[in-house]
Structure 1
Amino acid sequence: MVTPASQAQREAWVSGAMPEVERVRPGLWSIPVPIPINPLRYVLVYALELPDGVAIVDAGWNTDEAYDALVAGLGVAGYTIGDVKGVLVTHIHPDHYGLAGRVREMSGAWIALHPADARLVRERYDDAAIDSLVERERALLARCGVPPLTLDELAGASMMIRHMVSMARPDRLVEDGDELGLPGWDLRALWTPGHSPGHLCFVSPSRRLLLSGDHVLAKITPIVAVHPQSGPNPLADYLDSLAAVRKLEVDEVLPAHEYRFLELAERVDHVMAHHDARLAEIEQVVAAHDGVTCWEAATRLTWSRPWETIPPFMRRSANNETLAHLAWLEARGRVRREAGEPDLWRLP
């Protein structure tokens, strides 16, 4: 259990309310931006004051409600949308990247992404390229053993949220260790792949702050999944990235969801223990059901709700997250994959 850095934010999260705009530190603001039809409810956009305006970390979904909330939040801090000089995007998921293009249109701000996520923008969000991505997802799900009647529904399950992204290519590419060059800030980028191939965190050594995006959250754990745009072993990337941020000497973590918190190392240890337990559970399923498909394994795992009540989009995430754990186990020789249509998983 971590200590909330903002009791008001935690109470809002627990009660299901929207938190207020907060002045985190001198020159730093937290602005909640609503996420439609999503249990996360909001993304926390952080505004960093500059001599001539602000830079924001993440932007929110491309909806009028989200845009209005961002504009209103900037107003509380004393700024307008035209004062935004830059958008530091932690990763290209819609709730972080979706509004970045609209912000740039209204303000002329630059958009920054890690190259690994920048390479994925066109295939993910360009109408001319999306069919290829859906076909690759369908092929992956077929190899996982998803039933034919469910295959098309799951392969296209994310299409409904694509319109909530204003496709915008980045103006700046940010690599691991880059200094962001924001006047008054010693902000440094940390490449933390796993949740997405190009996920970035940002650390301020002088202020002892970590802006963690989705990499480390106070209560929940981010989805780490194998999918057509991931690497072959994203869970290994994620666990390595967790170990890297655990070493940071910071006093406060500013995540993109839930609430700000203290005790980074303790939270990282808890997340790592969670994945250890999940890996052991999946290994037990493989041992009990020799020749199990990934989909069958997913249906036998413990989830936050009964499998039958999980909507299609989240079932796909659950399947692909199970595949990430199987890939991690395979890389360490703890399970083996019998390739086919579908792949079958067995003990060595």
Structure 2
Amino acid sequence: MATDIADARTAWMEPGAYEVAPGVHRIPLPLPNDGLRAVNVYAVADGDELVLVDSGWALDEARDQLEQALGSIGHGFESISRFLVTHVHRDHYTLGITLRRMFGSRVSLGIGEQPSLEAILHGRVEGQLNDLVRWGAEDIAERMRQGMKKGGPRQDGYEQPDEWIRGATDIRLETRTLRALPTPGHTAGHLVFLDADSSLLFAGDHILPHITPSIGFELVRQELPLGDYLDSLRLVREHPEMRLLPAHGPVADSTHVRVDELLDHHRRRLDETEHALAQDEATAAEVAARMGWTRHNRKLSEMDIFNRMLAIGETSAHLDVLVRDGRLRSSTVDGVARYRA
């Protein structure tokens, strides 16, 4: 039974082009890590051309797999007129930039991603280093500094988009209209795209069927990323029920069901975070070390450095919402935030 469940969770990663609605194909592309092993891009027919929602990571393997998938539905890279990118993370943005250089496709991105993209392009990581210090993770910040001395942050694959999408915007294609809807939280400028006539939600990383997206771990972090994320979930919940087309994981029939699950998850996680702090005064890193992570309830010390950063950042995001809601207090001394009941 466990093997069957595992197979069901990974079947969506199989290469190919899968029709999820008339004129819409899901194309999974590989990622170079053991966590999220694939990302879905969606090819939307637009007359004789295609519009792709997200693009994948600029890897040779991903480019080849995308080319084969497009060929199976009678298209090539030259058919792509435009990439509508949900957010600036490498696995969503950079292959679109590579193909734009070769074929002239347009790339569109939400305006809220502009500060983070500028930081990426100019190698500015001081904001993220300051965040790590604020969370009480100076040891991780120091490891990042040492890593930068050996080569600096990776900027390859990134360029400015052709178009910044500003606010909620209708994007009119030949046979359908997609509504770009800002959903900050996972990143400051995250967008989802709604096809109301076909009841489809291209959700990016905002709503994922099996996991909860990381919140606010970016070079330019918003003041209250979890608060933004919860508001964005409620905003999507106000729209009519749609089929969920996520960036990672299989297609699901109900957006509302998954939104409700995510809201409930974060309500429980806020309670768990408050309980982990108890009556102590502690940093986000100290509280994160008292909590379990992933569905396997792993200890923070058992995780690699990148996932420790994500976990500590998540804990900080929950602690800051608890402060906003009057359930905790915080003070900052020498750049380090400490929380207490």
Answer yes or no: same fold by TM over 0.5.
yes
Alpha carbons 1:193, 1:200 under 8 Å: kept: yes
Alignment of 1:83-102 (within 5 A): 83-102=79-98
Shift of 1:302: 1.4
74-83 vs 222-231, which moves further: 222-231
Task: Give the Cα–Cα distance (whole angstroms) in 2 for the partners of residues 163 and 68 of structure 1.
Answer: 23
- The alpha-carbon distance between structure 1 residues 11 and 187, as it changes in their structure 2 partners (threshold 3 A), is farther
Instruction: State whether residues 60 and 95 of structure 1, in contact with CA within 8 Å, keep that contact through their aligned partners in structure 2.
Output: yes
1:344 maps to what in 2? 338
Given candidates 7, 19, 26, the residue that maps to 2:22 is 26
Instruction: State the TM-score, normalizing by the size of structure 1.
Output: 0.89
2:260 is the alignment partner of 1:269: yes
Task: Give 1:286 deviation, angstroms.
Answer: 1.9
Distance 1:164 1:34 in 2: 20
Pair 1:298-2:298 in alignment: no
User: CA RMSD of the aligned region, Å?
Assistant: 2.4
Bigger drift between 14-23 and 328-337 goes to: 14-23
TM-score (norm 2): 0.91
Residue 4 of structure 1 corresponds to which residue in structure 2?
A: none
Name 1:334's counterpart in structure 2: 327
AA matched with 1:283: E
Instruction: Write out per-residue CA displacement over residues 181-206 of structure 1, whole angstroms, 9 at most, x where no aligned residue.
Output: 21111111111000011100011111
Q: Sequence identity of aligned pairs in percent?
A: 34
1:190 is paired with a residue whose SS is strand
Following TM superposition, by how much is the alpha carbon of 1:255 offset from its aligned partner in structure 2, in angstroms? Answer: 0.5
State the Cα distance separating 1:11 from its structure 2 match.
4.7
Equivalents in 2 of 1:119, 1:47: separation in Å? 28
Looking at structure 2, the residues matched to 117 and 68 of structure 1 have their Cα atoms a distance apart, in angstroms, of 28
- Distance apart, 1:122 and its partner CA: 2.3
Does the aligned pair in 1 maintain the 2:13–2:28 contact within 8 Å?
no
Match of 2:127 among 128, 136, 141: 136
2:55 to 56, 59, 67: 59
For residue 107 of structure 1, report the CA deviation from its aligned partner: 1.7
The CA deviation string for residues 55-75 of structure 1, in whole angstroms up to 9 with x for no partner, is 100011111111111111111
Q: Which residue of 1 aligns with 2:186?
A: 195
Q: Which amino acid aligns with 1:345?
A: Y
Check conservation: 1:225, 1:322, Cα contact below 8 A: no
Unaligned runs of 5+ in 1: 1-9
Q: Closer, same or farther in 2 for the Cα pair 1:227/1:59, shift >3 Å?
A: closer
Q: Which amino acid aligns with 1:277?
A: R
Whichever residue aligns with residue 98 of structure 1, its letter is T
Q: Output the amino acid matched with 2:108.
A: A
Residue 23 of structure 1 and its aligned partner are, at CA, apart by: 1.4
SS of residue in 2 equivalent to 1:91: coil
Check if 1:312 corresponds to 2:313.
Answer: no
Once the 2 structures are TM-superposed, how far is the Cα of residue 153 of structure 1 from its aligned partner? 2.0
Count, aligned residues: 333
Match of residue 197, structure 2, among 206, 212, 216: 206
Amino acid at match of 2:264: A
Residue type at the aligned position of 1:151: A
SS of residue in 2 equivalent to 1:180: strand
Paired position in structure 1 for 2:229? 238
| Secondary structure, counterpart of 2:313 in structure 1 | helix
What is the aligned partner in structure 2 of residue 178 from structure 1? 169
Shift of residue 228 of structure 1?
A: 4.4
Partner deviation per Cα, 1:322-343 (whole Å, 9 max, x = no partner): 1111111111111111211332
Distance in structure 1 (CA, Å) of the matches to 2:23 and 2:134? 50
**Structure 1 pair 156/317, CA: closer, same or farther in 2 (3 Å)?**
farther
Q: Which amino acid aligns with 2:299?
A: P
- Distance in 1, Cα, partners of 2:27 & 2:232: 26
- Given that residues 128 and 220 in structure 2 are in contact (C-alpha distance below 8 angstroms), is that contact kept between their aligned partners in structure 1? no
Cα deviations by residue, 1:162-189 (Å, 9 ceiling, x for unpaired): 6585112111121332111211111111
The C-alpha deviation readout for 1:188-227, integer Å capped at 9, x for no partner, is 1111000011100011111011111111111111001365
Q: CA deviation at 1:234?
A: 0.7
**Higher deviation after alignment, 76-85 or 162-171:** 162-171
Q: Which residue of 2 aligns with 1:219?
A: 210
What do the CA deviations read for 1:223-269 (whole angstroms, capped 9, x no partner)? 01365412100111110110011122234110011110012111111
Structure 2 residues not aligned, in runs of 5+: 1-5
Whether the 8 Å contact between 1:118 and 1:170 is mirrored in structure 2 is no
Conserved? CA contact 2:289–2:299, under 8 Å: no
Which is richer in strand? 2
1:296-337 CA distance string (max 9 Å, x none): 001111112232220001101111111111111111111111
1:279 aligned residue: 270
Amino acid of the structure 1 residue aligned with 2:31: I
Q: What's the offset of the Cα at 1:12? A: 5.2
Q: Distance in 2 between matches of 1:335 and 1:234?
A: 17
1:13, CA displacement in angstroms?
A: 3.0
What is the deviation of 1:90?
A: 0.2
Using CA pairs under 8 Å that are at least 6 residues apart, name the structure with larger relative contact order, 1 or 2: 1
